[in-house]
Amino acid sequence: MSFRVRIKNNGELEFEKPVCLCELSKDFAKDAIAAQFNGQLVDLRSTISEGGEIEFINLDHELAPQVYRHTLSHIMAQAVVNLFGAENVRLGIGPTIENGFYYDFEILNGKITEEDLPKIEDEMKKIIDQDIEIERIEMKKDQAIELMKQKGQIYKVELLQEIQDDTVTLFKQGNFIDLCRGPHLPSTGMVKHFKLLSISGAYWKGDEKRQMLQRIYGTAFAEKEQLERYLNLLEEAKRRDHRKLGPALGIFFIDFDVAPGMPIFTPKGTVILTELMNFSRQLHREFGYQEVMTPLVMSEKLWRMSGHWDHYKENMYFTSKEEQQFAVKPMNCPGHILIYKSRTISYKDLPLRFFEFGRVHRYERSGVLHGLFRVRSFIQDDAHIFCRIDQIEQEIGGVINFVHRIYSPFGFEYSVELSTMPQDHMGDVETWDRATNALKRAMEAVGLRYVVKEGEGAFYGPKIDFHVRDSIGRTWQCATIQLDFLMPQRFELVYTDVNGNYAQPVMIHRAIYGSLERFLGILIEHYAGAFPTWLAPVQVVIIPIADRHHEYAEKVKGILVEKNIRVEVDLRRETLGYKIRDAQSMKIPYMFIVGDKEEKTATVSVRTRKGNEFANRSVESVLNVIIEEIKTRALKSLMEE
């Protein structure tokens, strides 16, 4: 039976029998390295036997990195086998990830160290220089299992046993063969610009009860200049790492002996968090929210009713008292539902918008804890909107506007994703479709561009996620909006409609910062610790030149304190240069230098953290500039403009 295939930009062809994509590429795309068939990335050596659309992929295509990075993960695996011996290496998996790739290994007689990475790189370069042809092999599943058993590859055997198909694909380059779907480059010599980055531990299949493997991370790009730019970006990211900058600047620390994954904030860190909350509170009032507070510990009955017991129990903390089981809240939504249920609600009362800076606790495995980005205890700027169905689009539009108002003062641009029904979900497909379409209409109504992430919604509803882009181009998921028809059903929430009948409200879950801790970590790296003046823990440090100037320094401090400026006086017996360098290292926006001339003229000499100097300025004039800078939440010093 014949079938027709449309080749993108090259018309349509009809075939009487299966055809290999590699044969088609000879006529339509000689530089192809892979293809996309009916929207799925496939190896160039694949055979097609049904109709559809083909798009050939070359090294300039946006999908090309998935191909050459996947190939490099196998080249890295071959290099490790060559260096450590096939009898000593058990292979895990080697997928591509954003900007790179990794491969997991178990080394039976030893381990891979950081010192081994240059050796592995050199061996990879030898394999690349040999330009070995990469063969795609189709094999019966039983034969592949037997082959991997003979090689002692127990993890590959386990993966094969989980595959439902009777036939599997393997890829072979020289004497190295590996289980893989592909796609891969035609030969090992087609991409050369790569770098191995690090090595870490990783449990097999992410299960901490399974074997700990060693994971090697690498990156690769089609052009040398692209690789160099990315490596420079990584170096800059290291310089900005909040896990080092935060403690160095006296903002936070984590004591893993007494509170693993639970940050402790110093007075300086608390200042920043308070400023973030004050800014948020101001906008919440403007947008018609009511602030609430709910208990940290509540009965397990509540969490069974909400569905968290069935879908989130592994991430929760529990305690028992007086023969009752309680849970430390991982979410704020059930508490807000209790507030809704505490009184009779009319259609005239809707929408109801409750928000809370609610502290939640979620168990995360120790291996995934990461500074402020992945913690076990954090504060959410959490809100829940209870509204009628006819109010959904208006309320979602209001939240989108709120997000924009919050992010603008930080200089963030953002992109948006719509995540749909996951495999582990509550409720029926019809309800999910209804909720998903409502979110789409709301975004389209305000002209918000978005991409769809299939199957990545919350277990109770689809969601919109906002990804902010920082000053060095990295993206971070922060704000989220989740539309929920299901929890109101489970809790039997009602309101009295215009006819006096009971109707069910819709619930919108939303957070803008997301987690205050994580948002602070992002800000530390975004600003490299040099916060704009309105957020800086210390906004001005006064540095007297000599002991006789201490009294005048304290007088100037008093003037600033009256205007709510966060100010310190450096009375240490150190040199002026030392004090200035220390203030710069602590990223303090302004230094006021006071000596004989300043005291005599009732002025200050100003120095910014960037090194700009302004001699003998009146305290009032400088103070007015700083106050305006704080009031407008300016991103840069107004004295430097």
Spell out a b/e string for 419-428, using b for 16 or more CB atoms within 10 Å of the CB, else e.
Answer: bbbeeebbbe
Two tokens, residue 571:
């009375």
Q: Which of 78, 153, 173, 380 is catalytic?
A: 380
User: What CA–CA distance (Å, rounded) separates 29 from 47?
Assistant: 16
165 is catalytic: no
What are the φ and ψ backbone dihedral angles of 603, each rounded to 5 degrees?
-130, 180
Burial of 101 (0-12, 13-18, 19+ CB in 10 A): buried
User: What CA–CA distance (Å, rounded) separates 266 from 520?
Assistant: 13
Q: Which of 69, 136, 329, 362 is catalytic?
A: 362
Burial of 219 (0-12, 13-18, 19+ CB in 10 A): buried
What are the φ and ψ backbone dihedral angles of 442, each rounded to 5 degrees?
-65, -45
What are the φ and ψ backbone dihedral angles of 39, each rounded to 5 degrees?
85, 0
509 is catalytic: yes
DSSP-assigned beta bridge partners for residue 216: 103, 199
362 is catalytic: yes
Phi/psi class of residue 414: alpha, beta or left (left: φ > 0; alpha: ψ in -120 to 50)? beta
69 is catalytic: no
Strands, E, within 49-182: which ranges?
52-57, 89-91, 96-97, 100-107, 134-140, 167-173, 176-179
526 is catalytic: no
Q: Which of 43, 381, 382, 570 is catalytic?
A: 382
Q: What three-state secondary structure class fits 411? A: coil
Q: Which of 333, 549, 579, 607 is catalytic?
A: 333
- Sign of the CA dihedral with 42 first, then 47, 48, and 49 last: negative
Q: Which of 463, 518, 557, 587 is catalytic?
A: 463
Two tokens, residue 287:
């947008």
User: What CA–CA distance (Å, rounded) separates 484 from 421?
Assistant: 12
Q: Which of 70, 136, 509, 617 is catalytic?
A: 509
Could you give the count of Cα atoms lying within 13 Å of 272 in the half-sphere of its Cβ?
27
Query: Residue holding tokens 């006021």?
Result: 592
Q: Which positions are catalytic? A: 333, 362, 380, 382, 384, 463, 509
